[in-house]
Amino acid sequence: MLKKTSFFVIGTAFVVLLIANLFITYIDEEEQTDIPQVRDETTYRHIRQGDIVGFIDQHGARSWQGIPYASAPTKELRWKAPQPPQHSYELLETLEPGNRCPQFALTANSSEDPSSNRFIGDEDCLFLNVWSPPNAVDLPVMVWIHGGGNTIGNGGDYSGAWLAANREVVIVTINYRLGVFGWFRHPKIQTGNASDDSGNYGTLDIIQSLKWVGENIREFGGDPDNVTIFGESAGGVNVLAMVASPLAKDLFHKAIVQSGGLSLTTAARAENFSEDGGHPFSSKEIVSKLLINDGRANNLESADKYQDKLSAIKLSEYLNEKTPSEMFRLFDGKGFGMIPLPDTFRDGHVIPDLSSNEIFSTQEQHNMVPIILGTNRDEPSLFMFRDPKYVGNYFGVIPYLKDEDTYRKAVKYGGLSWKVRGVDDIADKMSRAGNSNVFAYRFDWDEEPSQYGFDLNIALGASHALEIPFVFGEFGGRLFSGLYPNDEAQHKLSESMTSYWTEFAYTGNPGKGRDKKEAYWASWKENDMTSLILDTERDSGIRMISDQYTIKSIKEEFMSDQFDKDEQKCGLYKSTFRGEHFIPDEYDRLTESPCI
């Protein structure tokens, strides 16, 4: 059962609490109050690994929490493909979620000071949770992949009780290895086994969880031949990784990507020193940093040389001796606890050694299934909201926007570029490849109440991750609970969204929802329509639009926009058009005086 914690506390700690708890939330575990569950005789099930028993959750849903779907990825199984779970000859009580995977925790008192971030979790973390309605038989299965930058998060933070009980589906939420334990490939520790050598351990964990679902979900009333995967943010990225992976073929049948996208990392960038084009936290860079921390080297140059001289056996022994807490000393986790590590590698086995554009452009290169792709209109506001570049504080406590016009423009163009990466480009490529079941949405709900005069519908609006409680039908849990007015309009929108999501799980087409009374959701380019807007009736309601953006069209709109200051225009160009879309000559010509 989802643990209950209120996020908003009246008083001077408002800003700290709001910022600390806005994302995939982490309240100090010592401050949580567990409500012990009592096993229920009606929930006895026999699965491949033995007998289990669960409990009756909220809304009458049957629930089984903390089921191991793989063996603990520890000791000799660290940085190896997941193995099936061990068989148990004793009845396993599944009454609470399993361990979190190793990650940083953010407490209510966390700040930008890295020393305030605390390591939590355990490598023995490959667990999943199941909810089903009473007397379920052959119902659609929906497998939730949590977000968190692939470095934080936990399947146990989400409750599928409402969806299961009210929409007649079986819900599964999963954990998967995160961060350096989830994605890590070093040329010296390769064994010749393609899966072990891929470095994509978190990706392989998700695949293993889907295998478990295929083998066991009938015991919970689910249909293994009708599995929908859905996820948000990094979870959306991982959904697309499943669509891209040949190893996931036939393990799922539909996909929903919320605020995702797929940017793949080459093997060279994952492995090499940064001076050779590698990522700042590539495997070689991480090993060198460990050697310095251990006093085996004085600086990066000497650490790199030391590492090169280590034999494969010695390096493997050295890395396997490291505890998770020792690994986490390399990172600060300032961004909501997330760590900017490379992930989702183009290894040629788990993920094709191609760009995401190449993968989704031809049906032979990906698992072509019905798919929903969507973003929130104001995606970047969640990350800008805590940025002192945009937000100040009266008396060090009450927040205010320093320049509302600059803020709004930054949110607008950031949101549009995210829509291009996560929806429009992918939808266009998949539909051109022959997929007629591509559906797109934009979440526009922005009716948060003001707090201490701070207008949250401007500061946050339809921010990243804000749609998750709408999708699960649950607003009283740990995720964003203090941001919602809990009015009729909010709950009506949630009912519509759960209706669309579950109708898609049933049929592969969201259509008019489960009750056949919702606005019709057309597929991509059907009658020249592209996306469904999800909003309340007071803001024009749910409706189809024909908008489609490209980076080129966003640039054209940006160039014709009016900016009060040259530095405003220069700064927004840099933050909006990154990588290959940043054109130095174009940047230099933005304003009369060259941008700095």
The DSSP secondary structure of 358-390, one letter per residue, reads HHHHSGGGS----EEEEEETBTTHHHHTT-TTT
Q: For residue 442, which amino acid is it?
A: R
Note the pTM of the prediction, 2 decimals: 0.94
Highest-confidence segment of 103-112, 396-405, 426-435: 426-435
Distances, alpha carbon 300 to alpha carbons 81, 83, 269, 293, in Å: 31, 36, 18, 11
Quick one: pLDDT at residue 106? 66
Quick one: pLDDT at residue 551? 96
Tell me how many domains the chain contains.
2
In this predicted structure, the answer to whether residue 236 has a pLDDT above a threshold of 60 is: yes
- Domain assignment present for residue 173? The answer is yes
Quick one: pLDDT at residue 334? 74
Question: Smallest Cα–Cα separation from 438: which of 484, 347, 504, 516?
Answer: 504
Find the mean pLDDT for residues 504-522.
98
Q: What is the CATH number of the domain that holds 120?
A: 3.40.50.1820
Find the mean pLDDT for residues 34-43.
88
- Domain assignment present for residue 317? The answer is no
- Domain assignment present for residue 139? The answer is yes
- Domain assignment present for residue 229? The answer is yes
Quick one: pLDDT at residue 478? 60
- The domain boundary, picked from 347, 369, 391, lies at 369
- The domain boundary, picked from 346, 369, 392, lies at 369
- Domain assignment present for residue 148? The answer is yes
356-387 pLDDT, tens digit per residue, is: 999 999 999 999 999 999 999 999 999 998 88
In this predicted structure, the answer to whether residue 141 has a pLDDT above a threshold of 80 is: yes
**Distance (Å, whole) CA 53 – CA 505:** 27
Task: Note whether 15 and 105 are within 8 A (CB).
Answer: no
- The domain boundary, picked from 369, 387, 410, lies at 369
| Of 304-318, 331-345, 431-445, 503-517, the least confident | 331-345
479 band by pLDDT with thresholds 50, 70 and 90: low
Quick one: pLDDT at residue 34? 58
Return the percentage of the chain with pLDDT > 90, whole number.
Answer: 85
- Domain assignment present for residue 172? The answer is yes
Domain coverage including residue 574? 551-588
**Distance (Å, whole) CA 35 – CA 422:** 38
Task: Note whether 60 and 40 are within 8 A (CB).
Answer: no
548 band by pLDDT with thresholds 50, 70 and 90: very high
| Of 311-320, 468-477, 496-505, the least confident | 468-477
Helical residues (DSSP H) of 66-185, grouped into ranges: 161-167, 179-182
- Domain assignment present for residue 292? The answer is no
The full 3-state SS of 30-63, as one line of letters, equals: HHCCCCCCCCCHHHCEEECCEEEECEECHHHCEE
Quick one: pLDDT at residue 116? 53
295-311 pLDDT, tens digit per residue, is: 999 999 999 999 999 99
In this predicted structure, the answer to whether residue 4 has a pLDDT above a threshold of 90 is: no
- Domain assignment present for residue 115? The answer is yes
Residues 6+ apart with CB under 8 A from 273: 282, 284, 285, 288, 304
Quick one: pLDDT at residue 110? 40
Quick one: pLDDT at residue 453? 82
| Of 52-66, 305-319, 325-339, 426-440, the least confident | 325-339
Average pLDDT, the chain: 91
**Distance (Å, whole) CA 481 – CA 77:** 38
